[in-house]
């Protein structure tokens, strides 16, 4: 295969001369199909090197059928694409069993058959009424002296010649459509252009209107001609055509016939053209005969169906790609389009890749699209539709009519194949599809009977077309003719990628021109532009390194990659702030110094000032230190929410040790487990131990604390069924508090409710929010924590959505700021609670020091799940794929968190720690070696940079604020009555 140059047609005419009769015949057919001179094809000439593609291949096969009466499999052409190679294959090709396409004897009044494709369009018309969704406007700008009479006559000639253009489809009494061909005598009514004098006008809108005519197929022929006269020598000719009478491959005969007829009429003659060999009605009848009865297993229809049933078995109903808007229950078919180019160099590279793998350019484009969709979260079973000319018999070449068929191509991208491997799979699939292309799509849909929905196209929602229909060339004498693309404002499927090849004079790749038509129900222009950009980026990398696994091909622009992984303005990760990590005691001491007399704790009627609280904590810390408690010790606090508990937490932190909160309401079994696993140096389970410290001085013990020391150990679920202790240091506390002060507007005078169980890290969040900002911590009643929400003193409260949902509507509260955290917050709760106050969504796992992201105040009028907001100060969040690369906006990925708040790990579980806390590949250059925490949460970023929570990657549950991993349900149910109760 290495004979010709890598790109373009090269090596034409060189090499051996065809010798055997088969070789000579094939050389002649190659030349005919490829529009080359006969001398340009040698015995070793390669069909694809000469510019062949799959559609021309189909044509070659059909020519062989007509000339030799043999059925050469298309695959043979792909496998031995040279003249000599194919000539050898011809010997073993089967004789064709196809019926011949012939003009049928037609008596006046005989009902005309409809083709399968027409039947579907007619059906859609009956369903939706007249619409422009299936219009194919042809708009020509004519400059020069136009002879209107000649044009009128020429249009009449065309409509006379092509029956399809003067056929109406009235419904008979039996509900069946009857095509009725208008008599040529009445043709003027169809072909006479409506002439609109619009001198100097900008006719764009008028043209779009004319092109978007809604054909009433039952009474109106599917062609409507309008001529806009914008100047003496300037006209715009609009042929609004309905797809029922036309397709892309009809443009060639249409343009050729119009040119011939116009030239003849100018000269005062009727066009002298050969009559068409068959009519569309002959084709429709032949199609029925060819396919036969699908119920007969020997029929072509049955054999084709057999292929397609196997090929499409289990194909997903819907291709899930990120959209800008949710899919409406019924598609409006409104659409828009976006154009882009691919340069000659890349075009050549793609052609080169195709040729080196025995594939076509189309297959390369298709493999690229499938790989892209997989990378965009669509899974590994990707179906797209593609049009094929459907003119499988050469007698159809000169007809204007609807012959195009749609093939469903399915790509299996599973197992992370290299691009080359994927191309091989795509090629196999395509060859099978081409070989079975004569089963009409409509027939297939009827037989496969996939879920039919007005919301989406059946079997595929994305189309790919390599437009190699010979482009119509409207050479009208005396006129300069330019085709104008008119947006139809419609889109039949979600997205259609149409690519056209440009070839230089020597046949060399000269670039690709692509148009993406998209449903505006789903997409915005920018998103489609991004999609196109990603496709090109991926293909470009694949062309230069086809052995790259598809997971490693780039889909993001460098700038995007940077934005998604780094911090800075306009990023989800705010620019780093210079906050020096400090120990909790030092941060608290600063508040005591600033506002010693402000209220620090409120519990019922009891109030403690900052100074009082500090003194009690100092005494307790000294008492602990006297018992040898210090850095890296764990002190278990088995205390209910109380002033003593607050003093104890502060006291332990002041010694430099870590506290382990244990809710005394826990079952004895669970408490025993926690104490056994954490091996605390000391267990405090009596408030008296905290309060009886009169012997110790009230001055600060001033223990030097390295922020890397452990501050607390909090147990969360463990996938093994055993809860695990998360060891959190002081490093993230200063940044957390700075974020709380910013987002929650905290300070002296604020009163922060503490309602969550002391065993949850939410309690640490409350303590920080109050005692490190100068606010007061208001302790909720132990037996009815939600009563705290009615406490008129409270200004700030953090509540899990499930608890908030249990608060009866109309419950009065003076809350200024309500934080929902711990679980996804349903939109109804936002609608109910956001009005009149700042409501904020806070997200974070225990492993990141309670909180990783916080939203701005939620807007009750915005539908959908509340946003997660931005990373808190100095934290970074990434949404990554399985290979730890950032996923594009809109694509679900796993959420990772990095920054000073990362926990040290799991107590005594190094292996588990190493699994969840991994190296951060996006560490800023000045912080080498940092880690990131793999949260197990699924999220995506929206195009405008918001972060959206999507759920869990595993089956972890949150019940009553407690994390339960799949392996742990049993234990959780038996050891945690609250969970068991909620679960029931
Ligand atoms: P925990 O470590 O017990 O706080 O649990 C952390 C997990 O709770 C996260 O990984 C999420 O699955 C879930 N979670 C916490 N906050 C939110 C939130 N605001 N929205 C959705 N899920 C959340
Ligand atoms: Mg939490």
Mutate to test the pocket of ligand 1, among 714, 840, 845 (most ligand atoms within 8 A of CB): 845
In the structure, what pLDDT confidence band is assigned to residue 124 with cuts at 50, 70 and 90? Answer: confident
* Residue nearest ligand 1's atom 3 by CA: 963
Token code pair at residue 630: 């210090």
Mutate to test the pocket of ligand 1, among 798, 801, 958, 961 (most ligand atoms within 8 A of CB): 958
Phi, psi of 835 (to 5 degrees): -60, 135
CA atoms of 727 and 916, how far apart (whole Å): 13
Distance 240 CA to ligand 1 centre (A): 57
pLDDT reported for residue 472:
60
Which atom belonging to ligand 1 lies closest to the Cα atom of 820?
19
pLDDT reported for residue 576:
79
Answer yes or no: is pLDDT of 42 > 50.
Answer: yes
Three-state secondary-structure class, residue 779: strand
Report CA Rg, the chain: 37
Helix (H) or strand (E) holding 742: helix 733-744
Nearest to 648 by CA among 699, 682, 597: 682
State the average pLDDT for the chain.
91
CA atoms of 687 and 639, how far apart (whole Å): 7
Q: Which residue has the tokens 């090709």?
A: 93
* Residue nearest ligand 1's atom 4 by CA: 845
Distance 824 CA to ligand 1 centre (A): 7
Q: Which residue has the tokens 């070449």?
A: 397
Residue pair 901/913 in contact (Cβ under 8 Å)? The answer is no
Which atom belonging to ligand 1 lies closest to the Cα atom of 841?
19
Token code pair at residue 584: 């909790």
Helices (H), 143-279: 148-161, 188-191, 204-211, 251-266
Which atom belonging to ligand 1 lies closest to the Cα atom of 846?
2
Distance 832 CA to ligand 2 centre (A): 23
Three-state secondary-structure class, residue 511: strand
Q: In Å, what is the CA distance from 579 to each residue of 576, 637, 903?
A: 9, 30, 18
CA atoms of 181 and 526, how far apart (whole Å): 45
pLDDT reported for residue 352:
95
Answer yes or no: is pLDDT of 6 > 50.
Answer: no
Residue pair 332/490 in contact (Cβ under 8 Å)? The answer is no
CA atoms of 43 and 82, how far apart (whole Å): 7
Q: Which residue has the tokens 């002190």?
A: 635
pLDDT reported for residue 11:
43
Three-state secondary-structure class, residue 488: coil
Q: Which residue has the tokens 């230190």?
A: 625
- Residue 176 burial (CB count, 10 A): 11
Q: Which ligand is nearest to the CA of 962?
A: 1
In DSSP terms, 142 is beta-bridged to 235, 481
Which atom belonging to ligand 1 lies closest to the Cα atom of 850?
4
pLDDT tens-place string over residues 431-478? 999 999 999 998 999 899 998 899 999 999 999 999 865 566 778 889
pLDDT tens-place string over residues 192-201? 999 999 987 7
Token code pair at residue 57: 């291949």
Distance 823 CA to ligand 1 centre (A): 5
pLDDT reported for residue 983:
52
Write out residues with Cβ below 6 Å of ligand 1.
716, 761, 821-824, 841-846, 935, 937, 949, 952, 958, 963
On the CB side of 12, how many CA atoms lie within 13 Å of its CA?
A: 22
DSSP string, 144-175: E---HHHHHHHHHHHHHH-GGGGEEEEE-TTS
Residue pair 878/896 in contact (Cβ under 8 Å)? The answer is yes
Buried b vs exposed e over 722-753: b needs ≥16 C-beta within 10 Å?
ebbbbbbbbbbbbbbbbbbbebbebeeebbbb
* Residue nearest ligand 1's atom 12 by CA: 937
- Residue 928 burial (CB count, 10 A): 8
In the structure, what pLDDT confidence band is assigned to residue 511 with cuts at 50, 70 and 90? Answer: very high
Instruction: Calculate mean pLDDT across residues 789-801.
Output: 94
* β 796-799/776-779 pair status: unpaired
Distance 963 CA to ligand 1 centre (A): 8
Alpha carbon 512 to its chain's center: 24
pLDDT reported for residue 471:
60
HEC per residue, 23-42: HHHHHHHHHHHHCCCHHHCC
* Residue nearest ligand 1's atom 10 by CA: 845
Distance 822 CA to ligand 1 centre (A): 4
Token code pair at residue 657: 């040790």
Distance 847 CA to ligand 2 centre (A): 9
Q: Which residue has the tokens 């940079």?
A: 945
Distance 936 CA to ligand 1 centre (A): 10
For a pLDDT cut of 70, what percent of the chain falls above it?
96
Which atom belonging to ligand 1 lies closest to the Cα atom of 868?
19
pLDDT reported for residue 611:
98
Residue pair 403/388 in contact (Cβ under 8 Å)? The answer is no
Answer yes or no: is pLDDT of 557 > 60.
Answer: yes
pLDDT reported for residue 2:
32
Which atom belonging to ligand 1 lies closest to the Cα atom of 842?
19
Q: Which ligand is nearest to the CA of 717?
A: 1
Answer yes or no: is pLDDT of 863 > 90.
Answer: no
Which atom belonging to ligand 1 lies closest to the Cα atom of 935?
10
In the structure, what pLDDT confidence band is assigned to residue 925 with cuts at 50, 70 and 90? Answer: confident
In the structure, what pLDDT confidence band is assigned to residue 977 with cuts at 50, 70 and 90? Answer: low
For the sheet with 335-342, list strands across it. 335-342, 509-519, 495-503, 462-466, 381-388, 405-412
CA atoms of 854 and 744, how far apart (whole Å): 10
Distant-in-sequence, close-in-space partners of 326: CB < 8 Å, separation ≥ 6: none
* Residue nearest ligand 1's atom 21 by CA: 824
- The conformation of residue 374, written as its DSSP 8-state character, comes to I
Which atom belonging to ligand 1 lies closest to the Cα atom of 717?
3
Distance 844 CA to ligand 1 centre (A): 5
Token code pair at residue 302: 């049955």
pLDDT reported for residue 946:
82
Mutate to test the pocket of ligand 1, among 803, 844, 867, 961 (most ligand atoms within 8 A of CB): 844
- Residue 132 burial (CB count, 10 A): 19
pLDDT reported for residue 483:
87
pLDDT reported for residue 980:
61
pLDDT reported for residue 120:
87
Token code pair at residue 83: 């003249």
DSSP string, 666-715: S-HHHHHHHHHHH--SEEE--HHHHH--TTS--S-------TTSEEEEEE
How buried is residue 676: exposed, middle or buried, by Cβ count under 10 Å (0-12/13-18/19+)? Answer: exposed
Q: What's the farthest any 2 CA atoms get from each other in the chain?
A: 123
Which atom belonging to ligand 1 lies closest to the Cα atom of 895?
10
pLDDT reported for residue 187:
82
In the structure, what pLDDT confidence band is assigned to residue 719 with cuts at 50, 70 and 90? Answer: low
Helices (H), 374-504: 419-435, 441-448
* β 905-906/962-964 pair status: unpaired
Q: Which residue has the tokens 């939410």?
A: 762
Lowest mean pLDDT across 9-18, 74-83, 596-605: 9-18
Answer yes or no: is pLDDT of 3 > 90.
Answer: no
Token code pair at residue 38: 């006969």
Distant-in-sequence, close-in-space partners of 485: CB < 8 Å, separation ≥ 6: 139, 515
Instruction: Calculate mean pLDDT across residues 788-808.
Output: 92
CA atoms of 529 and 514, how far apart (whole Å): 11
Lowest mean pLDDT across 212-216, 569-573, 858-862: 569-573
Mutate to test the pocket of ligand 1, among 799, 818, 843 (most ligand atoms within 8 A of CB): 843
Distance 822 CA to ligand 2 centre (A): 5
Distant-in-sequence, close-in-space partners of 774: CB < 8 Å, separation ≥ 6: 591, 594, 595, 598, 610, 746, 747, 748, 750
Instruction: Calculate mean pLDDT across residues 767-784.
Output: 97
Distance 763 CA to ligand 1 centre (A): 15
Q: Which ligand is nearest to the CA of 897?
A: 1
Q: Which residue has the tokens 């089963």?
A: 439
Answer yes or no: is pLDDT of 119 > 80.
Answer: yes
Which atom belonging to ligand 1 lies closest to the Cα atom of 762?
4
Instruction: Calculate mean pLDDT across residues 391-407.
Output: 91
Q: Which ligand is nearest to the CA of 820?
A: 1
* Residue nearest ligand 1's atom 9 by CA: 845
pLDDT tens-place string over residues 132-157? 889 999 999 999 999 999 999 999 99
CA atoms of 195 and 183, how far apart (whole Å): 23
Three-state secondary-structure class, residue 780: coil
* Residue nearest ligand 1's atom 6 by CA: 845
- Residue 102 burial (CB count, 10 A): 12
Token code pair at residue 843: 């997200």
In DSSP terms, 957 is beta-bridged to 964
Q: Kindly provide the residue ranges of all beta strands, DSSP E only, lying in 317-380, ordered along the sequence.
A: 335-342
* Residue nearest ligand 1's atom 20 by CA: 824
Helices (H), 165-296: 188-191, 204-211, 251-266, 280-291
Answer yes or no: is pLDDT of 395 > 90.
Answer: no
Residue pair 489/335 in contact (Cβ under 8 Å)? The answer is yes
Q: How far apart are the first and last CA of the chain?
A: 69
* Residue nearest ligand 1's atom 8 by CA: 822
pLDDT tens-place string over residues 655-705? 999 999 999 988 888 899 999 999 999 999 999 999 999 999 999 999 999
Alpha carbon 108 to its chain's center: 54
Instruction: Calculate mean pLDDT across residues 207-225.
Output: 93
Nearest to 206 by CA among 253, 139, 271: 139
CA atoms of 279 and 608, how far apart (whole Å): 97
Residue pair 536/556 in contact (Cβ under 8 Å)? The answer is no
Q: Which residue has the tokens 């229909």?
A: 469
- The conformation of residue 549, written as its DSSP 8-state character, comes to B
């Amino acid at each position: 295969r290495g004979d010709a140059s890598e790109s373009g047609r090269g090596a034409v005419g060189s090499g051996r001369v065809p010798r055997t009769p088969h070789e000579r015949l094939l050389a002649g057919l190659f030349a005919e199909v490829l529009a080359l001179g006969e001398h340009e094809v040698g015995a070793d000439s390669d069909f694809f090197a000469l510019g062949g593609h799959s559609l021309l291949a189909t044509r070659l096969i059909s020519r062989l059928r007509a000339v030799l009466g043999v059925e050469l499999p298309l695959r043979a052409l792909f496998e031995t694409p040279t003249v000599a190679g194919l000539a050898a294959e011809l010997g073993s090709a089967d004789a064709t069993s196809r019926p011949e396409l012939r003009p049928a004897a037609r008596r006046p009044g005989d009902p005309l058959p409809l083709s399968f494709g027409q039947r579907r369009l007619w059906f859609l018309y009956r369903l939706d009424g007249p619409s422009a969704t299936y219009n194919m406007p042809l708009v020509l700008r004519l400059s020069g002296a136009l002879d209107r009479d000649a044009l009128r006559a020429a249009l009449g000639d065309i409509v006379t010649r092509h029956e399809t253009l003067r056929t109406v489809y009235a419904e008979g009494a039996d509900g069946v459509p009857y095509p009725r061909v208008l008599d040529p005598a009445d043709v003027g009514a169809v072909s006479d252009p409506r002439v609109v004098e619009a001198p100097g006008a900008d006719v764009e809108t008028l043209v779009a209107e004319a092109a978007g005519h809604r054909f009433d197929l039952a009474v109106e022929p599917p062609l409507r001609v309008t001529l806009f006269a914008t100047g003496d020598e300037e006209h715009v000719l609009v042929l609004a055509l309905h797809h029922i009478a036309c397709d892309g491959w009809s443009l060639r005969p249409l343009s050729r016939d119009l040119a011939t007829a116009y030239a003849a009429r100018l000269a005062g003659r009727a066009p002298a053209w050969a009559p068409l060999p068959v009519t569309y009605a002959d084709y429709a009848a032949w199609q029925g005969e060819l396919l036969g009865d699908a119920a007969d297993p020997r029929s072509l229809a049955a054999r084709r169906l057999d292929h397609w049933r196997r090929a499409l078995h289990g194909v997903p109903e819907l291709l899930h790609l990120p959209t800008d808007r949710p899919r409406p229950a019924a598609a409006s078919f409104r659409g828009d389009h976006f154009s882009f180019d691919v340069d000659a160099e890349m075009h050549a590279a793609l052609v080169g890749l195709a040729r080196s793998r025995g594939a076509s350019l189309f297959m390369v484009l298709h493999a690229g699209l499938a790989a892209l969709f997989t990378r965009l979260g669509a899974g590994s079973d990707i179906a797209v539709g593609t049009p094929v000319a459907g003119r499988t018999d050469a007698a159809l070449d000169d007809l204007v009519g609807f012959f195009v068929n749609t093939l469903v191509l399915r790509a299996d991208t599973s197992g992370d194949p290299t691009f080359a491997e994927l191309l091989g799979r795509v090629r196999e699939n395509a060859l099978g599809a081409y070989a079975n292309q004569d089963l009409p799509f409509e027939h297939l849909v009827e037989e496969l009977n996939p879920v039919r929905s007005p919301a989406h196209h059946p079997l595929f929602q994305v189309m790919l077309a390599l437009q190699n229909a010979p482009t119509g060339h409207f050479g009208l004498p005396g006129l300069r003719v330019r085709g104008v693309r008119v947006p139809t404002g419609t889109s039949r499927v979600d997205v259609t990628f149409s690519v056209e090849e440009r070839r230089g004079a020597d046949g060399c790749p000269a670039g690709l021109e692509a148009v993406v038509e998209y449903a505006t129900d789903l997409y915005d222009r920018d998103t489609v532009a991004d999609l196109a950009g990603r496709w090109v980026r991926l293909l470009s990398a694949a062309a230069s390194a086809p052995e790259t696994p598809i997971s490693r091909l780039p889909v993001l622009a460098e700038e995007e990659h940077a934005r998604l992984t780094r911090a800075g303005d306009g990023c989800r990760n705010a620019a780093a702030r210079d906050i020096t990590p400090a120990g909790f005691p030092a941060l608290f001491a600063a508040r005591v110094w600033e506002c010693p007399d402000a209220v620090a704790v409120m519990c019922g009627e009891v109030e403690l000032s900052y100074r009082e609280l500090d003194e009690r904590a100092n005494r307790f810390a000294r008492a602990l230190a006297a018992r040898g408690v210090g850095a890296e010790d764990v002190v278990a606090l088995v205390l209910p929410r109380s002033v003593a508990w607050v003093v104890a937490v502060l006291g332990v932190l002041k010694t430099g040790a870590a506290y382990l909160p244990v809710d005394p309401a826990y079952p004895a079994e669970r408490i025993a487990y926690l104490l056994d696993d954490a091996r605390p140096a000391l267990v405090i389970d009596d408030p008296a131990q905290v309060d009886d410290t009169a012997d110790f001085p009230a001055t600060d013990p001033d223990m030097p604390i390295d922020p890397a020391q452990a501050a607390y150990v909090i147990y969360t679920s463990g996938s093994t069924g055993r809860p695990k202790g998360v060891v959190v240091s002081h490093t993230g506390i200063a940044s957390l508090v700075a974020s709380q002060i910013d987002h929650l507007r905290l300070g002296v005078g604020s009163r922060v409710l503490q309602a969550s169980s002391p065993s949850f890290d939410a309690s640490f969040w409350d303590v920080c929010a109050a005692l490190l900002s100068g606010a007061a911590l208001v302790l909720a009643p132990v037996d009815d924590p939600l009563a705290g929400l009615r406490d008129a003193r409270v200004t700030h409260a953090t509540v899990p959505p499930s608890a908030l949902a249990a608060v009866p509507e109309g419950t009065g509260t003076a809350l200024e700021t309500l934080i929902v955290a711990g679980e996804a917050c349903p939109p109804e709760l936002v609608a109910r609670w956001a009005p009149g106050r700042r409501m904020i969504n806070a997200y974070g796992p225990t492993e990141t020091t309670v909180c990783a992201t916080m939203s701005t105040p939620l807007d009750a009028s915005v539908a959908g799940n509340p946003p997660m907001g931005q990373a808190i100060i100095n934290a970074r969040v990434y949404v990554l794929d399985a290979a730890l690369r950032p996923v594009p906006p809109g694509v679900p990925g796993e959420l990772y968190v990095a920054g000073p708040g990362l926990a040290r790990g799991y107590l005594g579980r190094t292996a588990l720690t190493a699994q969840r806390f991994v190296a951060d590949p996006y560490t800023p250059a000045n912080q080498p070696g940092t880690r990131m925490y793999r949260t197990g949460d699924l999220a995506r970023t929206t195009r405008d940079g918001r972060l959206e929570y999507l759920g869990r990657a595993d089956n972890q549950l949150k019940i009553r604020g407690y994390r339960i991993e799949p392996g742990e349900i049993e234990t959780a149910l038996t050891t945690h009555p609250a969970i068991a109760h909620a679960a029931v």
